[in-house]
Amino acid sequence: MRCPKCHNQDDKVIDSRISRDGGSIRRRRECLGCGTRFTTYEHVEQADLLVLKRNEAREPFDREKLIRSFTKACEKRPVSLETLHGAAEEIATDLAASGQREIPSRLVGLKVMDKLHSIDPVAYVRYASVYREFQDVGEFIHEIASMEHRVPASVVHPELFAPG
């Protein structure tokens, strides 16, 4: 595995740990060139899972993209990378277990929101507000609304709590 710092290809594994659900293995590695330690995750390939977008386009389900969404939503929040990888892993496992080959992107978005909701309320609201802009109103908003009652109102509607 190439070192993220010096790009050396030689490393040694210093720790391997299997995730709680058995769906992935996390390895701590040390670069033999510069001594940098980094982490890799090993998963079963779920390449046959497709995401059906609103414009009817299909794209392969991309776990890395999911992790990027999580990372962006949790920017500067006290959430570990490990937690985000775990959440992405759980979503991937759920989707694979659903037996559906094509997954509506809306469903993926809702699963992300559901995870973020239990991880960090601020990240949840960030994600939900960005996501909502790209969606039609209707059923989707209804689903969000039913989730929002679980978040403190001061987080969802900070303007209502602003002084003055």
Neighbours of 123 (CB within 10 A): 24
Q: Which is nearer to Zn ion, 11 or 148 (CB)?
A: 11
What is the sign, positive or negative, of the torsion defined by CA atoms of 98, 125, 88, 25? Answer: negative
Q: CA 7 to CA 47: how far, in whole Å?
A: 27
CB of 33 to Zn ion, least distance (A): 4
Q: Which of 1, 2, 6, 161 binds Zn ion (CB under 5 A)?
A: 6
Q: Which is nearer to Zn ion, 29 or 63 (CB)?
A: 29
CB of 1 to Zn ion, least distance (A): 10
Neighbours of 124 (CB within 10 A): 25
What is the sign, positive or negative, of the torsion defined by CA atoms of 108, 113, 116, 117? Answer: negative
Q: Which is nearer to Zn ion, 8 or 46 (CB)?
A: 8
Residues 12-71 that bind Zn ion (CB under 5 A): 31, 33-34, 36
CB of 43 to Zn ion, least distance (A): 24
CB of 12 to Zn ion, least distance (A): 12
Helices and strands in the chain, H and E counts: 6, 6
Rule CB under 5 A: which residues touch Zn ion? Answer: 3, 5-6, 8, 31, 33-34, 36
